[in-house]
Amino acid sequence: MSVRHALLALLSEGPKYGLQLRQEFEARTGEVWPLNVGQVYMTLQRLERDGQVESDEDGEDGPQKGYRLTEAGGIELTRWLGPPADTGVPPRDELVIKVLIALRVPGVDVPELMQAHRRRLVGMMQYFTRLKEDALEDEIGLLVVADAEIYRLDAVIRWLDSAEARLRNRPAADPAVEQPALAPRRRRAGALR
Amino acid sequence: MSAVLELQQVSKSYGAGPTLVDALVEVDLSVRTGELVAIMGPSGSGKSTLLTIAGTLEDATSGVVLVGGTDVSNMSANERARMRRRFIGYVFQSLNLLAGLTATENVSLPLELDGTRASTARRLAREALESLGLGDRTEHYPDELSGGESQRVAIARAVVGQRSLVLADEPTGALDSLRGEEVMRLLRSACKGGVAGVVVTHDAQLASWADRVVFVRDGRIVDQTAPSTRSQRLVVPGPNR
């Protein structure tokens, strides 16, 4: 699970305090993935080291220290939300996290993002179906392995379809989709105080 | 290879005024001989409307439909009916086999309606059934056939004669996975044998048999997979991801 990217997503909505980040993370993942305080601060430190977030210069480490997303952090978040660049498929749980996170990132077209993943998954399924088609009837091992991959991909696609249907049917005017586009924020020391 | 089916900016609306529904919006689609294309989308996305318009069973509100290079809007009702019988095969979820006719008669009927001599039509029908592994079922009636066999009779009826376009709507119906796979293998081999195929489905497994998967949402084509080529080989993912 990507705590890093969840934190980047929360900061894409605007500057936040450490404690606030932890509370919002838990609230928005339906409290399915509880975080401990140490995890949050350790991850924030690494993000800051990598130039993806910035913190108040004068703030002390702790729940009241403010953090902001940098341009590099915004780029990393967008890259991660899309399908992986290699031929692998993210495990289903990672895709769940990506969709949950994308729902909260201003300016992200979530159905379009889901379609990008769906296209990738169907393309992989076509590959395994070709393997099956070209296999000989007695190549049971190959046929069974291809089936296993096809059913696994099918489960992910079905979940994407149902998630998209839920998204379409949700009540209008959810503030999560009404927010301004993701933009790099200028560093303003002490802006949260 | 030439396009057997071509839709250019095809739109279809039902109703009028406040009850107007846009079932298809400016759809462009081209399907060539030898190609199987899947149209994938959820219920109500317009995929079945697309198929009935492609099959000239229904008229587009606007846009151009070319079958075998001919604009169907320039054809009379009789010319269209004849083209459907001769060149277009349909496989629907409800197979629509006629209960009072044998498997051979079900398959030969469209040829006979088109003026083919009965003896010739029945010979072609038996050949189509044999090629689908139903050589010992030719004189059986639909209620004497299993679900998988009935589905194969429906496919034989769709590809018999000189059909150049086969249109299928959720063709594996309620078949179990291996029987459904069999149906898709048959459609694939019909396409390889020189037919253009279009299958509409909400099922990714079915769609994955196609050379190209076209995604529809709200009556629009929103995306498609790249046409598959055999030389493109992906790395098979290992067990630990």
Does residue B117 lie in a domain region? Answer: yes
Q: Which residues of A touch B42 (CB under 8 A)?
A: 161, 164-165
Higher pLDDT, A39 or A114: A114
The whole-angstrom distance between A145's CA and the closest CA on chain B is 10
pLDDT at A67: 92
Higher pLDDT, A156 or B92: A156
pLDDT-wise least confident of A28-37, A135-144, A173-182, B213-222 = A173-182
pLDDT at B229: 53
Cα separation, B182 vs B174, in Å, equals 13
In chain B, what percentage of residues exceed pLDDT 70? 93
Domain encompassing residue B122: 3-224
Does residue B234 lie in a domain region? Answer: no
Model confidence pLDDT, tens digit, residues B46-96: 999 999 999 999 999 999 999 999 999 889 999 999 899 889 999 887 778
Which CATH number belongs to the domain containing residue B17 in this structure? 3.40.50.300
Q: Which residues of B touch A148 (CB under 8 A)?
A: none
Prediction pTM value:
0.79
Q: Which residue is closest to B208 within chain A, CA to CA?
A: A126
Contact A123/B226, CB-based, under 8 Å? yes
Q: Is A94 on the interface with B (CB under 8 A)?
A: no
The whole-angstrom distance between B204's CA and the closest CA on chain A is 6
pLDDT at A32: 63
Q: Which residue is closest to A133 within chain B, CA to CA?
A: B185
Does residue B170 lie in a domain region? Answer: yes
Cα separation, A54 vs B155, in Å, equals 64
Model confidence pLDDT, tens digit, residues B167-204: 999 888 767 788 788 888 889 988 988 899 999 999 99
φ and ψ of B175, to 5 deg:
-70, 155
Q: Which residues of B touch A128 (CB under 8 A)?
A: 208
Secondary structure (3-state) at B102: coil
Q: How many domains does chain B fold into?
A: 1
Instruction: Return the DSSP state at A59.
Output: P
The whole-angstrom distance between A18's CA and the closest CA on chain B is 31
pLDDT at B182: 84
* Greatest mean pLDDT among A27-36, A61-70, B36-45, B183-192: B36-45
Q: Is A157 on the interface with B (CB under 8 A)?
A: yes
Does residue B128 lie in a domain region? Answer: yes
Does residue B241 lie in a domain region? Answer: no
Model confidence pLDDT, tens digit, residues A84-111: 766 666 666 788 888 888 988 888 999 9
pLDDT at B238: 43
Q: What is chain B's length? A: 241
pLDDT at A110: 93
Model confidence pLDDT, tens digit, residues A54-67: 988 766 666 678 89
The amino acid at residue B175 is L
A3-177 carries CATH number 1.20.1730.10 = no
The whole-angstrom distance between A31's CA and the closest CA on chain B is 25
Does residue B34 lie in a domain region? Answer: yes
Does residue B111 lie in a domain region? Answer: yes
pLDDT at A6: 87
- For B152-183, b where at least 16 C-beta lie within 10 A, e where not — what string? bbbbbbbbbbebbbbbbbbbbbebeeebbbbb
Does residue B230 lie in a domain region? Answer: no
